[in-house]
Amino acid sequence: MATKKIPPTLVAFNSLPDEALIDVRFVAVLFDCSDNTVWRRVKSGMLPSPIRVSPQQTRWRVGGIRKVLASLDNCQGPA
């Protein structure tokens, strides 16, 4: 059975400051979904809006993504 290798950037997620910026691919890996699904979740309000850092680049603040992850953990109580 093959094991998935965790990307080094994902391993370092907990050590990033809340003000750090991450791209759509990073967000997609965190939520185990596609880039398109990330954008659909932004449009529906499930994820915070990204920050436009240049005409062709958008990023999310780590602190905002952590809040979403924490709210998901709180919704899933003990089984």
pLDDT in tens, 18-72: 999 999 999 999 999 999 999 999 999 999 999 999 999 999 999 999 999 999 8
pLDDT computed for residue 72 by the predictor: 84
Q: What b/e sequence results for 3-41 when a residue is b if at least 16 CB atoms lie within 10 Å of its CB, and e otherwise?
A: eeeeeeeeeebeebeeeeebbbebbbbbbeeeeeebbeb
Delimit the domains of the chain by residue range: 10-73
- Cα–Cα dist 40/49, whole Å: 11
Architecture per CATH, domain 10-73, reads as Orthogonal Bundle (1.10)
Are the C-beta atoms of 58 and 51 separated by less than 8 Å? yes
Instruction: Look up residue 61 and give its DSSP letter.
Output: E
What pLDDT does 10 receive?
77
Given a cut of 60, is residue 2 above it in pLDDT?
no
pTM of the predicted protein model: 0.81
